[in-house]
Amino acid sequence: MAWHARLLLTSFTVAYTILTGLSHAQLPPRGEPFQTKSERKTFKATATTSEAPPTITLHWARHGNSESPILIVRREKGAYAGGPAKSWGRPYAVLQNQIDSFADSNVEIGVQYEYRIQRKKPIRFDVVVAGIQIPLAEKRGGLLLLVDDSHVRRLEKELAAFQFDLAGDGWDVETRYVSAREPVAEVKARIQEAYHRDPAALKAVFLFGHIPVPYSGPYWGEHKRVPDGHANHMGAWPADNFYFELDGTWTDERPAILQARRTANHNEPGDGKYDQIHMTSNLELMGGRVDLHKMPLFRANESELLRNYLRKNRRFKHGLTPAANRILISDKEWPKSDFSMTGWMLASVTGATDIYQASWKKLLENDYLFAVGVGPGSFRSARTVAHTKDYAKNDYQAIFQFLFGSGFGDWDTANSLLRAPLASDNYGLATVWGHRPMWFFDHMALGECIGYGAWITGSDFGFHLGTASRPTYANLMGDPTLRAHYIKPVADLRAKTSASQATLSWTPSPEKGIVEQRVYRSDKAYADYERVAILGAKETSFRDKSLPAGPHFYMVRAVALTESASGTYYNGSIGIVAPVQAKP
């Protein structure tokens, strides 16, 4: 169709306004040691590394005296992928409680290691993913982008730019258009068909727009469970993990559950809502959703909210959105709970000294990479944190916002609080309802995407304290491909052809610490890019002397060695793409 052609051609002229003028104020004081139960239950663990000899040294906060030893177990990243959950094995080290570090010299450069640190009495727990000079992730796998077909024509430019950015970060993108009226079983059948074509290739699904919402719950075996603990909220909850778990058991036959105040939660046999609140097997795919229907508190309509999400997504991925590598935690309502543990465990991404305890309003003064807000809730609010109407008026300056309270984990409601950050102007690119379950985003420290954390959180891979629950209701709101650290890409990429040659020229990335640039080529716009050259950090041109006839796309990525609170990794910018047409 003609509009498909326009979607591709107009993308090369897409340009967006750079964020400017964001306010900065004095930072709130850092949290004093062990003020809350959440902080006391975590180690705030980090890691430092050295290359000669290769060594990873774990560090954690010391807390009180105990006769229980500190146990450390270790495995390589991915030891659990593609099969049943594997235990961590025997303790890798057993340490006295007074010790606050451990040096591991039995490591190799380029390998990611997962460490689990635990003490039983009083209980403390943490996970660190550490490594030295982890290689650039050039090939991240296939991503199935399911787009609400009612918005495609309005968002041609933005969707094209978004798909180029996905390809520019190593994803092979396949896009399909879905009606909001399509049965959820048929949507899942599309995903299963794409997965079974090549199970090793497809890694992620991104639901964009009002893709039909699966519902499931409240059964776990024969025992009734309500995620937020309220009997009048018992019933089926939104369950996107239905789309990402492909070979488990999903039934629609249990006795009716009709006591919830919201009729959408009512669950009867044969009504298209499923029974499970806990899945019977692990997730095959990582996934996330951006759904901004029924958000009338915001001035813009649904299409404009989706357009803005794509634009702010691009600004962040291109290194244009200020987001300091720090965490704000607002949990003063429940200091004796462990509801903000996810935030304290993110020390492995930002560093233990860059966690701040403060009011949610401090996000209006300074920018953060992560923010965790906890408070008694409703569908639209978390007390002492925010109401959806606050998001309609304010831009809370945190990229990843993790919210917990009653009600709004059931996010398929009008003016949902959990979706409100996605509708804000510049920040709020991903949200989760945490602490049920506890979420694990430690891999983001070394360049992994947030969807990977959602995948392991929704599976039984031994990360959870105790037995993992595989919850159906653990939904990631946002783009699952988002990473924590982006560097500015190259600019002004131009391509010229002559006979069987292509000559590229560009302006290098302005980032400090660039170590090299990589050039790729594909005959598809959004997939199958293969590297054709590795160049120095300051090179500004490249000539490909073996260009086949036909249309092609070139991509250039800058690469830096990035240091985080868990080690070092090679971090690629988003690839910038230019098309060429080679004559036979």
- Going by pLDDT thresholds of 50, 70 and 90, the confidence category of residue 14 is very low
- Going by pLDDT thresholds of 50, 70 and 90, the confidence category of residue 63 is confident
Q: Tell me, what's the pLDDT at 210?
A: 98
- Helices in 291-416 by DSSP H: which ranges? 302-317, 341-345, 347-350, 388-393
Task: For 456-491, give the DSSP string.
Answer: HHTS-SS-SSSS---BTT--EEE-TT--S------E
For residue 50, give the H/E element and its range: strand 46-51
Q: Which residues, at least 6 apart from 259, have a Cβ–Cβ distance to it below 8 Å?
A: 231, 232, 234, 235
- Going by pLDDT thresholds of 50, 70 and 90, the confidence category of residue 473 is very high
Instruction: Give percent above pLDDT 90 in the chain.
Output: 82
Q: Which residues, at least 6 apart from 307, have a Cβ–Cβ distance to it below 8 Å?
A: 154, 155, 158
Domain locations along the chain: 37-134, 141-276, 309-315+323-478, 490-582
pLDDT of 465 above 90: no
Closest by Cα among 155, 247, 263 to 209: 155
Block residue for tokens 């996934």: 287
Secondary structure of 58-72 in HEC code, one letter for each residue: EECCCCCCCCCCEEE
Return d(Cα 155, Cα 310) in angstroms, integer.
Answer: 9
- pLDDT for 114-144, tens place per residue? 999 999 888 899 999 999 999 999 999 999 9
Q: Which DSSP state fits 150?
A: T
Q: What is the pTM of this model?
A: 0.94
pLDDT of 236 above 60: yes
Q: Tell me, what's the pLDDT at 34?
A: 47
Amino acid at 78: G
- Going by pLDDT thresholds of 50, 70 and 90, the confidence category of residue 220 is low
Structure tokens at 535: 């160049």
Domain spanning 37-134: which superfamily? Answer: Immunoglobulins (2.60.40.10)
Mean pLDDT, residues 89-100: 92
Structure tokens at 104: 């591991």
**CB 456, CB 286: distance < 8 Å:** no
Closest by Cα among 205, 86, 139 to 455: 205
Give bridge partners of residue 535 from the DSSP assignment: 517
pLDDT of 308 above 50: yes
Instruction: Give percent above pLDDT 70 in the chain.
Output: 92
- Going by pLDDT thresholds of 50, 70 and 90, the confidence category of residue 19 is very low
- pLDDT for 537-577, tens place per residue? 999 999 999 898 899 999 999 999 999 999 999 999 999 99
Q: Tell me, what's the pLDDT at 13?
A: 36
- Going by pLDDT thresholds of 50, 70 and 90, the confidence category of residue 468 is low
- Going by pLDDT thresholds of 50, 70 and 90, the confidence category of residue 79 is confident
**CB 286, CB 276: distance < 8 Å:** no
pLDDT of 431 above 70: yes
The angle at the Cα of 387, spanning 386 to 388, to the nearest 5 degrees, equals 125
Cα dihedral sign, 451-454-458-461? positive
**CB 148, CB 206: distance < 8 Å:** no
Q: Say if strands 141-148 and 171-178 run parallel, antiparallel, or are unpaired.
A: parallel
- pLDDT for 496-534, tens place per residue? 998 889 999 999 999 999 999 999 999 999 999 999 999
**CB 207, CB 180: distance < 8 Å:** no
Higher-confidence position of 63 and 311: 311
Return d(Cα 406, Cα 413) in angstroms, integer.
Answer: 14
Mean pLDDT, residues 15-28: 45
Statement: 141-276 belongs to CATH 3.60.10.10: no
Higher-confidence position of 291 and 467: 291
Cis amide bond preceding 480, omega within 30: no
Task: For 347-369, give the DSSP string.
Answer: HHHH-GGGEEE--GGGGGTS-EE
pLDDT of 9 above 60: no
Return d(Cα 14, Cα 212) in angstroms, integer.
Answer: 30
pLDDT of 85 above 60: no
Q: Tell me, what's the pLDDT at 469?
A: 78
- pLDDT for 157-199, tens place per residue? 999 999 999 999 999 999 999 999 999 999 999 999 999 999 9
Mean pLDDT, residues 81-93: 70
* Residue 515 vs residues 54, 532, 539, 540, 562: alpha-carbon distances, Å: 21, 17, 11, 14, 10
For residue 73, give the H/E element and its range: strand 70-76
Q: How far apart are the first and last CA of the chain?
A: 27
490-582 shares the fold of 37-134: yes
* Average pLDDT of the chain to the nearest whole number: 91
Amino acid at 529: Y
For residue 557, give the H/E element and its range: strand 550-564
Q: Tell me, what's the pLDDT at 62?
A: 85
Q: Which DSSP state fits 425?
A: S
- Return the minimum-mean-pLDDT range out of 7-16, 79-88, 419-428: 7-16
pLDDT of 583 above 80: no
Mean pLDDT, residues 313-329: 98
Any idea which fold 490-582 has? Immunoglobulin-like (2.60.40)
φ, ψ at 247 (rounded to 5°): -135, 20
